[in-house]
Amino acid sequence: MPVKTEEVIKVIGGNPISGTVQIGGAKNSVLKLMAASLMAPGVFHIDNVPRISDVEIMSEVIDTLGAKTSIQGHSMTIDTTGVDKYETPYKLVAKMRASISVLGPLIAKFGKAKVAMPGGCRIGSRKLDMHIAALEALGVEFESEHGYINANVPGKLHGADVTLDFPSVGATENLMMAAVKAEGTTTIENAAREPEICDLANFLNEMGANIKGMGSPVITVEGVNELHSTDHTVVGDRIEAGTFLVAGALCGGPLTAKGVDPNNLSRAIAVLKHMGAEIDVTEDSVTVSRHGDIIPCDIQTLPHPGFPTDLQAQFMVMAIIAKGRSVITENVFENRFMFASEVTRMGADVRVDGHHAIIEGVDQLSGAPVQSSDLRGGAALVLAGLIADGETVVSQIEHIDRGYEDYVGKLRKLGANVVRETIETSDDDI
């Protein structure tokens, strides 16, 4: 039988978790900043860049278009003087859906783009209808063939008043970036309000754009003719921070997440308090501890400033050992409960009914071999392992590496009994 190897994360539950963890730059901002850099020729310096595989893929994407990226530590240099292509290859887009973030920048720079259509993924179909409708309002014409989206601006890219059906993060970003170079004014109603949108808008303004209202439901963009390179520091990753705060709330703490603006986590902090955690904040850190039982809580995921869908699986771990019943409703993605089905292997009592997960708290989880199926679900399986009796082995951890830099190393520094190992797997280990 051929013997294969794979990397896994092994956790032995039961250790107290406390201390300070340095939070990195936001994955869901830096990928867009890298895409936006295509819009202006020059040399960009971006600091607080997380060393994660999605950043490596986005570097490949923009280098394919003619940019030259390099990274030292957490500082990235992007030289865009040689950007001369407007076509992204399928093989890269298939690896990472966020590659679609180059659509707006390429339209702004070249008046055209040929971007491979990203497939769906496990959390949902991840459609692009809102991106396309919004950009068509600016005068972009689209046709799709052979799995590619061909965008073209036959006339002038012009401003427009656009109302999004849903505050889509990606659609808001692509529209905002294209509007920067459109003639006239663009208003985006029902815009996404995530902190990463604000970080991108600030970056674009530092490049010479004229964007107002970011963080509110109405963003206004005055088109400009010229853009230039800039230096920027990526906003702290509120989702990485929230993941570690849950680790502290699960295992007692006190745990301090440093390098994040507490205002970007206000809903998650409110829910942590509701579930029995104690919270202290400074302007760039959040400290969590817990002494009593975990109190059940009903959670609705919503666009920012509502509860973030990217923390849904992590908070489900808290509900799994709460004293009573919690109901978590996923309103943003159509299929984001894969974690729920996997964690039942560890003894969790979770019943999924459409967009609702009904969780009956249990006293104890037991360690088991589990598979991560997506980035946040994978991180949550490790959190479940921290409180389980015995050993949990998490496989398919490449999902976790997409968005967490040194997740195991950071947890170990906080006292967790967790290691990353290469194990032999034969074809029987299905």
Q: Which is nearer to ligand EPZ, 10 or 336 (CB)?
A: 336
- Residue position matching structure tokens 């942590």: 272
Q: Does 169 bind ligand EPZ (CB under 6 A)?
A: yes
- In this structure, what token pair is assigned to residue 280? 């202290």
Q: Does 310 bind ligand EPZ (CB under 6 A)?
A: yes
* Residue 166 C-beta: closest distance to ligand EPZ, Å: 5
State the first-to-last Cα distance of the chain, in angstroms, to the nearest integer: 13
Q: How many residues sit close enough to ligand EPZ to count as binding (CB under 6 A)?
A: 26
* Residue 193 C-beta: closest distance to ligand EPZ, Å: 10
CB 234 within 8 A of CB 343: no
Q: Does 170 bind ligand EPZ (CB under 6 A)?
A: yes
Q: Alpha-carbon distance 177 to 181, whole Å? A: 8
Q: Does 309 bind ligand EPZ (CB under 6 A)?
A: yes
The question of whether 198 is a catalytic residue gets the answer no
Q: Does 130 bind ligand EPZ (CB under 6 A)?
A: yes
* Residue 104 C-beta: closest distance to ligand EPZ, Å: 12
Stretch touching ligand EPZ by CB under 6 A, among 40-48, 150-158, 315-323, 329-337? 329-337
**From candidates 126, 158, 258, 420, binder to ligand EPZ by CB under 6 A:** 126
**Residue of 53, 18, 420, 10 lying closest to 252 (CA atoms):** 18
Where on the phi/psi map is residue 412: left (φ > 0), alpha (ψ -120 to 50), or beta? alpha
Q: Which is nearer to ligand EPZ, 30 or 365 (CB)?
A: 30
Catalytic residue (choose from 121, 198, 251, 297)? 121
Q: Does 168 bind ligand EPZ (CB under 6 A)?
A: yes
Q: Does 238 bind ligand EPZ (CB under 6 A)?
A: no
Binding positions for ligand EPZ, 403-422, rule CB under 6 A:
403
- Give every strand in the sheet of 87-88, ordered side by side: 87-88, 112-116, 148-152, 141-145
Q: Alpha-carbon distance 302 to 167, whole Å? A: 10
**Residue of 284, 215, 285, 289 lying closest to 257 (CA atoms):** 285
- Give every strand in the sheet of 43-47, ordered side by side: 68-72, 75-79, 43-47, 231-233
Q: Does 98 bind ligand EPZ (CB under 6 A)?
A: yes
For every residue of 308-335, DSSP letters joined together read -GGGHHHHHHHHHTSSSEEEEE--S-SS
Q: Which is nearer to ligand EPZ, 239 or 386 (CB)?
A: 239
Give the interface with ligand EPZ as residue ranges (CB under 6 A). Answer: 27-28, 31, 98, 124-131, 166, 168-171, 194, 309-310, 332-334, 375-376, 403
Q: Which residues are catalytic?
A: 121
